[in-house]
Amino acid sequence: MAFRYISAGESHGPCLTVIVEGVPAGLPLSEDLIAADLARRQLKAGAGGRMDIETDRAEILSGVMAGRTTGAPIALRIANRDFAAWQGREVPAYTVARPGHADLAACVKYGFDDIRCALERSSARETACRVAVGAVARAFLGEFGITASSYVASLGAVPECPVDLDAALAFAATSPSRAPDQTAEDAYANAIHLARVQGETLGGRIVCVVRGLPVGLGSYVTPDRRLDARIGGAVLSVNAIKGVEFGQAFAATAVPGSRLHDPIVRDDAGHLVRPTNAAGGLEAGMTTGQPLVVRAAMKPIPTTLAPQRSVNLADGQPSATAYERSDTCPVPRACVVIESVILIELAAALCEKLGGDSLTEMKSRRLATPDDVRLSPEPKVFWPLPGHD
């Protein structure tokens, strides 16, 4: 049974809608549970005026009865409160393509003469759908002891500093800017304020950590089943995310191989353990049982108060971009979006691993843990394979 979803809706249309398929029967699920993650997506630090208008809440239309999923597709509806301000208004065509947006390529691809046909759907407003689905995935994975959290590792020109991972995640949970500590919190607030005054936008780096994963989610046997490829694609599908790594992949390029890879040692109980986690919880497309550490790079969003050079597609003449209401820095709010898309992929992988139509059936099946990794009393390795020369 595949855990998957499809969303529909525009930024300023009446609502966003989502259909989630593959959720097993018997999972406790409520609108309040989903609302908790949607509220995290609306953190105020660096946010624009839209966050003062919307108070996102997903209405469950189907697939849940008496507070538990039925195994049928789940339909969710998220109203756009800003729709009322646009309803019935005649909006002039928008024809100046904004650098860094979908505008120009979309107009060429689909033959639009009004950029709004593209920007209404390509808007980051759609990530509310992914956060709602991610909340469903979080509830499902939580039944197996799998949890996710995140923090903003750097923001704008504020550099990333070494942190204690557990302390950073704990501080970020209540930080307005998802900062890892108070020093970073103050620096992020100053950077956001300065960028807002200058009419600029800021990007940053996000670290997401998933704990409680079993050994062996994903597979190496075909490229499309490798979990690093699936998670990497999901993270890169988020608006303005331009880079992704597992562990410290980019820094690892400067480290000799003999010093990089996580040693495998045997403890007193005979278990095989890893004293380090440079791989970030994935090897050969499979989870190792260690924490999954995913890092994402978010560019400064291209909608800036400061005009940018462009061309008016209506007459071909040079033109400066016009400002559209936007965030100064969406990085803190993007944390929960990154968590969500990762959790969706992990939920899909876990469904594939366990099979079954109900939560009870799935939980009756045992998952491999790091404690299961033991040396055989008489390990045997055949090469060539038996029956081959």
pLDDT tens digits, 3-32 = 999 999 998 889 999 999 999 999 999 999
Question: For residue 111, what pLDDT band results from cuts at 50, 70 and 90?
Answer: very high
What is the C-alpha to C-alpha distance for residues 253 and 251, in angstroms, rounded to an integer? 5
Residue 45 has pLDDT above 80, yes or no: no
Q: Which residues pair with 342 in a beta bridge?
A: none
Question: For residue 90, what pLDDT band results from cuts at 50, 70 and 90?
Answer: confident
Interval 299-348: pLDDT, tens: 999 888 778 898 999 899 999 887 776 789 999 999 999 999 999 999 99
Contacts of 382 (CB under 8 A, 6+ apart): none
What is the C-alpha to C-alpha distance for residues 362 and 356, in angstroms, rounded to an integer? 6
Interval 142-173: pLDDT, tens: 999 999 999 999 999 999 998 999 999 999 99
Show the CA angle centred on residue 305, arms to residues 186 and 94, nearest 5°: 140
> What is the mean pLDDT of the segment spanning 63-85?
91
Task: Check if the beta carbon of residue 200 is closer than 8 Å to that of residue 306.
Answer: yes
Interval 170-200: pLDDT, tens: 999 999 999 999 999 999 999 999 999 988 9
Give residue for tokens 């390990």.
379
Give residue for tokens 């049928």.
72
| Percent of the chain with pLDDT strictly greater than 90 | 64
> What is the mean pLDDT of the segment spanning 88-93?
75
Q: Which residues pair with 320 in a beta bridge?
A: 309
Residue 385 has pLDDT above 60, yes or no: no
The mean pLDDT value of the chain amounts to 89
Pick the residue with more confidence: 384 or 288?
288
Give this prediction's pTM.
Answer: 0.91
> What is the mean pLDDT of the segment spanning 266-270?
82
pLDDT of 107: 93
> What is the mean pLDDT of the segment spanning 110-132?
93
> What is the mean pLDDT of the segment spanning 345-353?
96
Structural domains of the chain, with CATH? 4-372 (3.60.150.10)
- Cα 373 to the chain's mean position, in Å? 30
Alpha-carbon torsion 350, 354, 355, 360, what sign?
negative
Of the candidates 302, 325, 321, 301, which has an alpha carbon nearest to the alpha carbon of residue 310?
Answer: 321
Weakest-pLDDT range from 81-95, 136-150, 273-287, 372-386: 372-386
pLDDT of 304: 81
Contacts of 186 (CB under 8 A, 6+ apart): none
Residue 381 has pLDDT above 80, yes or no: no
Detail the DSSP E strand segments found in the chain: 4-9, 15-21, 58-62, 64-65, 68-69, 74-79, 147-155, 204-211, 215-218, 241-246, 265-266, 272-273, 282-283, 286-288, 292-298, 309-311, 318-320
